[in-house]
Amino acid sequence: MIRANLRFVVKIAHDYAHFGVPILDLIAEGNIGLMKAVERFDPERGGKLSTYAAWWIKQAIKRALTNQGKTIRIPVHMVDRISRIRKAKHSLESELGREPTTEEIAIEVRMPVNKVAHLVSISVRPASLQAPISGDDASALGDLIGDENATTPAEDLHSKSMFNDLRTFIANLDDREREILRLRFGLGGNPEMTLEEIGDKLSITRERVRQIQDALLTKLRESLEERENQLTNKDIKKEALAVAYHKAMQGYLTDRRSSGRQTRASYLQTPAS
């Protein structure tokens, strides 16, 4: 009975392919389900073994998908829905001669469009960041993914410019104002102090410390806002291009010393204005 239904197991296993488990492993798990079905099947109750065994085979395969499948595990109840969506997609592709839209698939499987879109998105097999781009290229997939936290040359220059403005602002304060900022905000590695502690240290009232602090912060904010308005996008881009040119020239000179084969033009390609 088991041998007679092995092809049936293969057919069901193919319905659950591409979930992250090799097809041969799915067939092996399906065969285990078939053996359990044969043990429990009672021909005297009527019905076909294949009909009875289908449930056991599918359960064994879905259990394997849950335990051995994707890096991000898909719940068992979603596996069947994703399988239905894939079947409908292949059927519609044959019928329409093109890839069906999400709306067309949703109508075919009688599910909401947003539900179909969600199931399709979670069924995508994750790719390794170490996976090579191609056989001829030593680059890995991770090399092409940008760092969202990295700053651009223009942003670095902008931050440096604001830092210099802040240093200039503090340098132009009188000794008491500078000391209040230093103690209040822990500048120079010092611990932050309360208004009352600063007042006791400088022999002035807590309220006077607060007034000086607020006045300084207002003046600082206005100074930085004025600088921000002056530093237009065009100015930032010019500074960024200047840095890029400087780095390119450094690279050209370094390689020229080491090999003597590099051309200057190859290093002086800057972004278009």
Q: How does pLDDT run across 81-128, given as a tens digit for each residue? A: 887 888 888 889 888 889 889 888 888 888 888 888 888 776 655 555
What does the pLDDT average to over 223-240? 61
The encoded tokens of residue 259 equal 């090999």
The Cα–Cα gap between 222 and 228 comes to 10
Alpha helices in the chain (DSSP H): 6-15, 23-40, 49-68, 76-96, 102-109, 113-122, 153-171, 175-185, 195-202, 206-230, 233-258, 264-267
The b/e string for 213-249 (b: 16+ C-beta within 10 A; e otherwise) is beebeeebeeeeeebeeebeeeebeebbeeeeeeebe
What percent of the chain has pLDDT above 70?
A: 63
Which residues have a Cβ under 8 Å from the Cβ of 95 and sit 6 or more positions away?
A: none
pLDDT band at 262 (very low <50, low <70, confident <90, very high): very low
Beta-bridged to residue 132, according to DSSP, are 140
Q: With 60 as the cut, is the pLDDT of residue 222 above it?
A: yes
Q: How does pLDDT run across 166-179, given as a tens digit for each residue? A: 778 888 889 999 89
The encoded tokens of residue 16 equal 């659950």
* Phi/psi at 172 (5° precision): -90, 0
Instruction: Give the pLDDT score at 196.
Output: 93
Q: With 90 as the cut, is the pLDDT of residue 204 above it?
A: yes
pLDDT band at 198 (very low <50, low <70, confident <90, very high): very high
Q: How does pLDDT run across 43-64, given as a tens digit for each residue? A: 778 778 888 888 888 888 888 7
Q: How does pLDDT run across 174-195, given as a tens digit for each residue? A: 999 989 988 888 877 778 899 9
Residues for the chain: how many in total? 273
Higher-pLDDT residue of 134 and 52 is 52
CATH of domain 160-231: 1.10.10.10
* Domain residue ranges of the chain, discontinuous segments joined by +: 3-122, 160-231, 233-273
Q: With 60 as the cut, is the pLDDT of residue 163 above it?
A: yes
pLDDT band at 251 (very low <50, low <70, confident <90, very high): low
Q: How does pLDDT run across 79-93, given as a tens digit for each residue? A: 778 878 888 888 898
Instruction: Give the pLDDT score at 258.
Output: 55
The reported pTM is 0.35
Side-chain-facing half-sphere of 68: CA atoms under 13 Å: 14
